[in-house]
Amino acid sequence: MAGRTPPFAPFEWMIAWRYLRARRAEGGVSVMTWISLVGITLAVFALIATLSVRAGFRAEFVDTILGANAHVTVYSAPWTTDAGQEVRTIADYDAVAGRIAKIPGVTHAAPLVKGQVLASKDGTSTGVEVYGIRLADLKAIPRVAQSEEAYGDIDSFERGIAIGSGVARELGVTVGDKIKLISPDGARTAFGTSPRVSAYEVVYVFSAGRWDIDQTRAYLPFAEAQSFFNREGMADEIEVMVADPEHVEDLSPAIGEAGGPLTYLWTWRDSSGSFLRALTIEDNVMFVILSVLVLIATMNIVSGLIMLVKNKGRDIGILRTMGLTEGSILRVFFICGASTGLIGTAMGVILGCLFAIYVDPIFSFVNYVSGGGVWDPSIRGIYALPAKLQWGDVLSAVVLSLGLSFIVTIFPARRAARMNPVEALRYE
């Protein structure tokens, strides 16, 4: 007795290939099959492109937060000075920073003085948030000290001021120019508090990669900021950097204990957590929507395959009378439909990966064609459209597309397999 042929035998592939490459007049691949091929390609491309932009945007957003801001900010609860004044400053800031810096997992701890002032140059003014910081601590801020678009000499910081590129652009200043800082909380006199006005030379201009930071931030030497904001012997907060910002909550108890009983903590997740949660929800919704597009594209395979089965009814009857089993017929038409999904998925993956890799020149071309102004950093917060290709996202798109393609192909293939050969050949 002859042995059974194994599934997906070479002759099954040969028959499926002949059907796929047959001309339309011979009952071969229909227009619907080509439409489904293009649809799957575009759907997979859109899915991978969206996922890569989503991953890039989140990575860029988080990187600018962690690279230019404290991972944990240590505040003090209100306390009363010897003069009876209630303040929230930290008196023993060096001791507190030293204790926090010794905690395993903490990479840096620095005292800061903060205040909002008006920066002015030749009649042009803008609001600025000033950070009083020491030079060594300023160099520990990656997005400021290691900014690729920075210019000036950061080592000259102790004799001047460092400002964001947005502040420099707003005031029309560059390195070597002097700007005035005006604070309403100035010297206390018998007639009240007079505004404090001081001029500083711009020695360093940085770009942190975030529009809102570059547009509002400036750094003063720590001692100068203490004098300017009437914080002699005090600091407003302690800026803490940790080795693993994604799990900063694990270090919060130890940092709070090192800070003392009056310590308040504010992590980067507290300040940006709602935005990141909104991004996560948006990511999930976009994935579901684009998955529906992939499903719609794969449904076109059903239409094309049904037309192919109808045109090949006579062939099916002949093949069945020659001895082909229902399983062989099912696999032949399954190969026809699945090949469309496989080829479309492969082409979509290639296009999606190319988009993620070459997103900068592509976006520059779109910006040029549209006349510029497509990306407004004041709204988006970052300066360019980011894209980060993650193989997990690519794998998700491939599994989704191939899975749907294989599933929807089974139904018309089963219809072909169950076709009665007598009925198929009755009118031939």
**Integer Cα distance of 293 and 299 in angstroms:** 10
CA 72 to chain centre: 22
Alpha-helical (H) ranges within 165-267 are: 165-171, 211-216, 222-228, 252-259
Which of 349, 297, 346 shows the shortest CA–CA distance to 51? 349
Which of 367, 387, 310, 301 shows the shortest CA–CA distance to 336? 301
**Integer Cα distance of 130 and 115 in angstroms:** 5
Classify burial at 341, counting beta carbons within 10 Å of its beta carbon; exposed 0-12, middle 13-18, buried 19 or more: buried
Eight-state DSSP code of residue 234: -
3-state secondary structure of 80: strand
Eight-state DSSP code of residue 242: E
pLDDT at 334: 82
235 backbone dihedrals φ, ψ, rounded to 5°: -135, 150
Which residues, in sequence order, are bridge partners of residue 15? none
Which of 340, 348, 247 shows the shortest CA–CA distance to 298? 340
Eight-state DSSP code of residue 266: E
Q: Which helix (H) or strand (E) holds 263?
A: strand 263-267
pLDDT at 416: 72
Crossing angle of helices 391-417/268-311, nearest 10°? Answer: 20
**Integer Cα distance of 15 and 234 in angstroms:** 84
152 backbone dihedrals φ, ψ, rounded to 5°: 105, -170
**Integer Cα distance of 86 and 409 in angstroms:** 74
**Integer Cα distance of 401 and 406 in angstroms:** 9
- In our burial notation (b when 16+ CB lie closer than 10 A, e otherwise), range 322-340 reads eebeeebbbbbbbbbbbbb
pLDDT at 81: 66
pLDDT in tens, the chain (428 residues): 344 666 767 767 777 777 666 555 544 455 667 788 888 999 999 999 999 988 888 888 888 888 888 899 998 887 766 666 667 888 889 999 999 999 999 999 999 999 999 999 988 899 999 999 999 999 988 889 888 888 999 999 999 999 999 999 999 999 999 999 998 776 666 555 667 889 999 999 998 888 888 899 999 999 999 988 888 888 999 999 999 888 888 898 999 899 888 888 998 888 887 778 888 888 888 888 888 888 888 888 887 777 777 776 666 667 766 767 777 777 877 888 888 889 999 999 999 999 988 888 887 777 777 776 666 665 566 667 788 888 888 999 999 999 998 888 888 777 777 766 655 555 45
3-state secondary structure of 131: strand
Instruction: Kindly report the pTM of this predicted structure.
Output: 0.75
Q: How many CA atoms lie within 13 A of 119 on its CB side?
A: 31
Q: Which helix (H) or strand (E) holds 108?
A: strand 106-121
pLDDT at 304: 74
pLDDT at 212: 84
Q: How would DSSP label each residue in 305-350? A: HHHHHHHTHHHHHHHHHTT--HHHHHHHHHHHHHHHHHHHHHHHHH
**Integer Cα distance of 367 and 376 in angstroms:** 11
Written as one letter, the residue type at 234 is M
pLDDT at 247: 87
Contact 401, 44 (CB under 8 A): yes
3-state secondary structure of 397: helix
pLDDT at 411: 81
pLDDT at 190: 56
